[in-house]
Amino acid sequence: MDKFTNLTGVAAPMPLVNVDTDMIIPKQFLKTIKRSGLGANLFDEMRYDREGNEIADFVLNQPAYRSAEILVAGDNFGCGSSREHAPWALLDFGIRCVIAPSFADIFFNNCFKNGILPIALPQEQVDILMKDAEKGANARISVDLEAQTITSSDGQVFTFDIDPFKKHCLLNGLDDIGLTMERVDDIGAFEARQTAARPWL
Amino acid sequence: MTAPKTLYDKIWDAHLVHEAEDGTCLLYIDRHLVHEVTSPQAFEGLRMAGRSVRAPEKTIAVPDHNVPTDPDRLSGIKDEQSRIQVELLRTNAHDFGIELYDVDDVRQGIVHIIGPEQGWTQPGMTIVCGDSHTATHGAFGALAHGIGTSEVEHVLATQTLIQKKSKNMLVKVEGELPPGVTAKDITMTVIGRTGTAGGTGHVIEYAGSAIRALSMEGRMTVCNMAIEGGARAGLIAPDEKTFEYVKGRPHAPKGGEWEMALEYWKTLHSDEGAHYDKVIEIDAADIAPVVTWGTSPEDVLPITATVPAPEDFTGGKVEAARRSLDYMGLTPGQKLSDIEIDTVFIGSCTNGRIEDLREVARIVEGRKVKDGIRAMIVPGSGLVRLQAEQEGIAQKLIDAGFDWRMAGCSMCLGMNPDQLAPGERCASTSNRNFEGRQGYKGRTHLVSPAMAAAAAVTGRLTDVRDLM
C-alpha cells in the first residue's frame, strides 16, 4: 500500500447523498480477479451512455475534473455492497481522498486498506469545500494527514479527526496482516483457551 | 458485580485476542464464509506473501453470485469471466484445504442461506464474509458482518480482524403484526424510519415480542437488512427456536458438546439495565405491507400511500428524490398500488428460504401469474429447492406460471444472466433498489414475498391484504 502523507489536488464536487458502491463500480466489473484497471469504469453508469460515450455533464468528464485527486461528496458515501472494488476503482482513477459528512462503515474501512483517506466533516464544512470544489481546476484543496488539516483554495483551514492507528498505518503505508502476524502468539493462546472452554467451536 | 452487558458486549468480550491502549482490538473470527467474487484477490495476496490459511476448518467456500440459475448450468458457465471466477474459487478451496459447496452439489446456494442450513452458523460466534449481507447470521445471536477483500485476506491469514468496538443500538418491536405484514415489512419499516445511515457505527439488536414471535427464517430476513440501515451488524438473542433450528444440522455440536454449547448459548442475552446508545421503539400494529418507491432502501412507504414529491424532503434528499423519481419513471401523487410491473423476482439471501416460498404459494393458490409478467423464483439453496419440491410447493408455483430456477444470488444483483432490461420494472424480494442494481436502467421495488406474489397475480404493486 502507498503511503498517504500530504495531498494537494483538484477536488471534484459530487453533492449527491447516499452514493452507493453499485454506483461507484457496477456489478459487471466485479468479475475481475485483479485489483487494478477499474478506474476506467469508475461511476460507469453515470459516466458513459450505453454505447460507451462519455456523458458530458458528469463531473469527472468535465475538463476541470478529469484529473481530480479528491472527491467532495454527500452524506452516507459508499453505502451498500462491501465490494472493495469501489476503493480500487477510485484509486485507479487517481482519487486519494474523499471528503463527506459521513461514510458507510465497510467502505470507510476498505479505503484505509488501499491508501485512500476518507474524511468525515460536519455538513457546514463540507458545504464550504463543495463550493470551493465547484470553482474548478484552479481551486486546489490541500490535505495534510500528519497535521489533520484540510486547506481550501482560499486558505480556510479545517481540522479533522482520525483514528490514531489508521493514521499511523496510512502515514507509513503499513500492511495490517504483517502487524497482526506479530501477535501470532496471542492468537495461538486465544485458540487454546477457546478450545478448552468451547470445544464445539 | 460487573456492569450489565448487551448481547453484543458479551460476544465481543468473548472474542478479544488483544486490546491496544487506543481501543484498537484484535478480534477472533470463528467462521469465515467465502464466495467467488470478493475472494480471488485475497487468495492471490496470500500466495504472493507465501502465507497459508490459518484455520481452513473454520472456513467454507461456495460460488453463488455468478452462477446461472437455468437448469442446464452444469453444462458450463457461458460467460467467460464468471466461469473463471467460479473455477478460481474451486482451485483456491482445493489448494488451501477449504470445504467447497460446488455448483453441482445439492447443498450449494447463497452463502448466507447455506451457512445456517449446514449448521455452520451458531449462537455466540463471530462470523464474517466478503459480503455485506453477512448480517443475516445475526438472527442466531452471532456477531456477523461484511468485510472487504483486504480483510478477507487478513482473516484467511490470521483468523482475526482489527476492529474498534461499535455502539449499541436497540430496535424494539412490540405487539402483534397485523395480517399480511411480515418480517420483511418490519425490517424495511425500520430503515424507512431511521434512514440508510441511521445505524452507522452501531450494531443493532432487534428485540421485543414481535421479533421473538418470528420464525428463524423471519429473523434472518430482519437481520439481513441491518446493513441497509447502515449498521455494522444485526443481532437477535437466541432462544428455544434458535436451538431447535440448529440442533442436528451437519455442523452443529453433537452429544456432550451440544449440552455444553446449549448451556453457554442460554447466557447470550442482554442483561437487565444494559446500556444502549440509541433506542428505536416501534409498535408492530403500526406496520403495514410496504414497498420502496425510489433508489435507496430508505425510500419506504406503505402500499396504501402515494409517490412523494422531492419537496416533501429536506437537505440533500430533495435532489436525491428528484433523481430517484426520474430514474424510476414515477410522478408525485401517483398511487403506489397503480404502478404496473413487468417482472417479479422472488429469492435472495433476504427472502430465498423455504418459509418465503411457502408464503408465495399460499398467496397464489388458485390464482395465476398475470399474462405478460415474467415471474421467477430462485430458491436460496439446492436444499430449499428440493424441500419445496418435496412439499409440493414447487409444482403449485410452476402451475401458477412461475419460472422455477436453480439456486444462487441471481437477479438480486444481476451478476449472472438474470437481469432487468433498461426501463423494466420489478417487484423484488431482494434487499437493494439502487440504480442499475438488477440491470442497467432497471427499476426495482423492494417488497415482501407475499407482496411479490400479489404483484405477480395482478401485474401491479398490490396490497396483499386485498387478496387474503
Q: Given a cut of 70, is residue A28 above it in pLDDT?
A: yes
Closest approach of chain B CAs to the CA of A180, in angstroms? 7
Of B237, B230, B239, which is closest to residue B274 (Cα–Cα)? B237
Determine whether B51 is exposed, middle or buried from the number of CB atoms within 10 Å of its CB (0-12, 13-18, 19+): middle
| Interface check A162 vs B, CB under 8 A | no
Domain boundaries, chain A: 6-197
Amino acid at A56: A
CA distance B200 to A105: 7
Q: How confident is the model at residue B235 (pLDDT cuts 50, 70, 90)?
A: very high
Percent of chain A surpassing pLDDT 90: 97
What's the ipTM? Answer: 0.96
Contacts of B45 in chain A (CB under 8 A): 177
Tell me, what's the pLDDT at B94? 98
- Chain B residue whose CA is closest to A179: B162
DSSP string, A141-185: EEEETTTTEEE-TTS-EEE----HHHHHHHHHT--HHHHHHTTHH
Residue B374: in which H helix or E strand, if any? strand B374-377
Rounded to the nearest angstrom, the minimum Cα separation between B438 and chain A is: 9
Tell me the average pLDDT across B429-457. 98
| Nearest CA-CA distance, residue A190 and chain B, Å | 6
pLDDT, residue B240, reads 98
Average pLDDT, chain B: 97
pLDDT, one tens digit per residue, over A165-174 is: 999 999 999 9
Pick the CATH number of A6-197 from 3.20.19.10, 3.40.50.150, 2.60.120.10, 3.20.20.10: 3.20.19.10
Element (H, E) at A66: none
B338: which strand partners?
none
On the question of pLDDT at B456 being above 90, the answer is: yes
Chain A contact set for B148 (CB, 8 A): 82-84, 87, 106, 109-110, 113
Region A55-63: what's the mean pLDDT? 97
Note the pLDDT of residue B104.
96
Q: State pLDDT tens for residues B35-74.
A: 999 999 999 999 999 999 999 999 999 999 999 999 889 8
Contacts of B189 by beta carbon, 8 Å cutoff, 6+ apart: B282, B287, B290, B300
Residue spans of beta strands (DSSP E) within A90-137:
97-100, 117-120
Across-strand partners of B34?
Answer: B61
C-alpha cell of A145? 494527514
Residues paired with residue B119 on neighbouring β-strands, in sequence order: none
Q: Which of B54, B196, B260 sits opposite A76 (nearest CB)?
A: B196
Chain A residues in contact with B200 by the CB 8 A cut-off are: 76, 102-105
A186 touches chain B (CB under 8 A): yes
Question: What per-residue string of b and e applies to A60-80 under the rule 16 or more CB within 10 Å gives b?
Answer: bbeebbeebbbbbbbbbbbbb
Give the pairing type, strands B25-28 and B16-19: antiparallel
Q: Which of residues 320-339 of B touch A (CB under 8 A)?
A: 320, 323
Cβ of residue A198 closer than 8 Å to a chain B Cβ: yes
pLDDT in tens, B323-343: 999 999 999 999 999 999 999
The number of C-alpha atoms within 13 Å of B48 and in the hemisphere containing its C-beta is 8
Is residue B258 predicted with pLDDT exceeding 80?
Answer: yes
Please determine, for residue A148, whether its predicted confidence score (pLDDT) is greater than 90: yes
- Is the CB of A165 less than 8 angstroms away from the CB of B162? yes
- What is residue B2's predicted lDDT score, i.e. its pLDDT? 82
Is residue B401 within a helix (H) or strand (E), and if so which, with residue range?
none
Local confidence band at B355 (pLDDT 50, 70, 90 cut-offs):
very high
Query: What radius of gyration do chain A's Cα atoms show?
Result: 19
Work out the percent of chain B whose per-residue pLDDT is above 90: 99
Q: Any chain A CB within 8 A of the CB of B162?
A: yes
Residue of A nearest to B132 (CA): A82
Instruction: Check if B13 contacts A (Cβ < 8 Å).
Output: no
Looking at beta carbons, which residues of chain B come within 8 Å of A123?
315
CB contact under 8 A, A75 and B150: no
Task: Give the Cβ contact number of residue B165 at 10 Å.
Answer: 17
Q: Residue A1 has what pLDDT?
A: 85
Residue type, A98: V
Residue B196 near chain A (CB below 8 Å):
yes
Q: Is the pLDDT of residue B1 over 80?
A: no
